Amino acid sequence: MSANIEIAGVSKIYDGGVRAVDAIAMDIRPGEFFSLLGPSGCGKTTTLRMIAGFDSPSAGEIRLDGADITHVPAHKRDMAMVFQNYALFPHRTVAENVAFGLRMRKIDKATIATKVKAALAMVELSGMEDRKPAQLSGGQQQRVALARAIVISPRVLLCDEPLGALDKKLRQQMQFELKQLQKALGLTLVFVTHDQEEALAMSDRIAVMNAGRVEQIGTPVEIYDQPRTCFVADFIGDTNIFRGQRVTMDHGIGIAAGNGLLLALPDNIAAAGSEVLSVALRPEKIAVAPADPVEARSKGMSTRGTVESTNFLGGAVLYRLVLDSGHRVLVQQPNSGAPLHPPGQAVALGWRPADLVILED
């Protein structure tokens, strides 16, 4: 039932020359929870609208299970969309809203009634059949929108920031429910969000978009641990980025990040091309210890710095440090119960070369 979507070299140029989407390519697999993640205005909604058939691409092709649907009108695509603002029919009751797609499919009344009842039960809205959308809370409206989309058993479900308007608690609950539902029905789901935590938590794969282009496609772990570009490293989570000349060190190569800061690169990427490189280092991959020479040396912590600020987050501690070379770095340590390093304290830092990720520009 679920389908595969191929987006091949698709661009969208709006009247007036805005290049909203620029030659993107992605292959969304059957039954996959696929997220489009990126900052506001990067072309997520435009991409989704082209998949749904509301906008036609200026170039490229969209295929559904191998068949070219680039010019198939929206009402013949058999996809269901949950709109950013829900787009519930205000003059129809909850039950009528959910029944709409089934009525368009000329299904008999008795079957419609059964399916509507089941769909509303699934989103826990039983008993609200006769209300109008205006008489529902934001979260309930969102669930009606979801029920209206899934009740037609679409081949593809498209969601445009469907959880954007909800408070944190309801949002987490709905994230969980949506994921469960998608799994249970085996739906191919394209999910638009600008919330990286949401994307990481829910997706099978993520396409990170920036300014109309796809920066990287990968699983949440790949996106987080192996960001390919500076943009991805910076956009997903917190990160420290160092930039400098490639230099040959005692064992292999490294980066001279300036002011005497030398970073050893992992051995396996000796072939890294250009002369000037950027590397990313996640805050939680850095170890911090008091700058006691003996202790630090024994752990191989050769970089020195000073604590600038200490933020206790509960499960973790976030430090802002200034290295002796002048670089500012962010370090996150699990709360192990050890005493915190107060601001002003001199510390030693260490990390494994393998945790450095070389970025494309």
Ligand X SMILES: Nc1ncnc2c1ncn2[C@@H]1O[C@H](COP(=O)(O)OP(=O)(O)OP(=O)(O)O)[C@@H](O)[C@H]1O
Q: Which residues bind other proteins (CB under 8 A)?
A: 15, 52-54, 73-75, 77-81, 83, 85, 87-93, 96, 100-101, 104-105, 132, 148-149, 152
Quick one: 82 or 207, whose CB is closer to other proteins?
A: 82
Could you give the CA distance from residue 288 to residue 88 in angstroms, rounded to a whole number?
A: 53
Hunting for tokens 């070369």 — which residue is that? 353
Q: Count residues contacting ligand X (CB under 6 A)? A: 13
Does the footprint of ligand X cover residue 57 (CB under 6 A)?
no
Name the minimum Å distance from CB 191 to ligand X.
12
Quick one: 211 or 289, whose CB is closer to ligand X?
A: 211
Are the C-beta atoms of 347 and 289 separated by less than 8 Å?
Answer: yes
Tokens of 129: 């059949």
Of the residues 2, 35, 46, 239, which one makes contact with ligand X according to CB under 6 A: 46
Q: Are strands 33-37 and 188-193 parallel, antiparallel or unpaired?
A: parallel
Which has the closest alpha carbon to 327: 230, 260, 252, 251? 260
Amino acid at 31: G
Binding mask 112-151 for Mg ion (x = CB under 5 A): ----------------------------------------
Quick one: 16 or 314, whose CB is closer to ligand X?
A: 16
Please report, for the chain, how many H helices and E strands are present, in that order: 9, 20
Quick one: 6 or 160, whose CB is closer to ligand X?
A: 160
Are the C-beta atoms of 257 and 325 separated by less than 8 Å?
Answer: yes
The stretch among 36-44, 221-229, 283-291, 307-315 that binds ligand X (CB under 6 A) is 36-44
Which has the closest alpha carbon to 47: 19, 72, 77, 76? 19
Name the minimum Å distance from CB 2 to other proteins.
17
Contacts to Mg ion from residues 5-64, by CB under 5 A: 45
